[in-house]
Amino acid sequence: MVLRKLAGAAGLAAFALYLWGLLHLVGALLEAEDGGTDSAPLRPCRTAGRQYDKKVLSVTDYSVDYVPLRFVCETADGGSYVADTVPGYVNPAVGGLALAALGCRVAALVVAEPPGPRLG
């Protein structure tokens, strides 16, 4: 019973943390699609202290990955780099919590009492 509750808690925490990262990613998408003044280079592709870097200035497009969560800036020369829009702790923590939830669930199944009549 305790292992099942731990599995549920870890799964819920992984889901909540994934949503937190997804919120950051959606914010970056909204910024990237917002045209007008100060829209080039793409705002999510700018990094602190490097917003006028050659690589940042050559950004032509972007793509989004949902597993792991990341905003990828694509450059004119065919290269790409991952922007720091999603906090760095989100993907490893989601993976760790998901594995912990799976491990607890498997352990709960292994140590579970087999169904059947009880004596006494």
Domain that holds residue 68: 2-111
Could you give the residue ranges of the DSSP H alpha helices within the chain?
2-33, 54-57, 90-111
One-character DSSP codes across 41-58: S-GGG--TT-TT-HHHHT
Is pLDDT of 118 > 80? no
pTM for the predicted model, two decimal places: 0.82
Classify residue 117: in a domain, yes or no: no
Q: Is 41 within a domain?
A: yes
Q: Does residue 118 fall inside a structural domain?
A: no
Encoded amino acid at 100, one letter: A
Q: State the total domains in the chain.
A: 1
Determine, yes or no, domain membership for 23.
yes
Residue 102 in domain: yes
> Which pLDDT value is given to residue 33?
83
pLDDT tens string 14-53: 999 999 999 999 999 998 887 766 667 788 887 766 656 6
Please report whether residue 119 resides in a domain: no
How far apart are the C-alpha atoms of 13 and 94, rounded to whole Å? Answer: 8
pLDDT one-digit tens code per residue, 70-108: 999 998 888 888 988 999 999 999 999 999 999 999 999
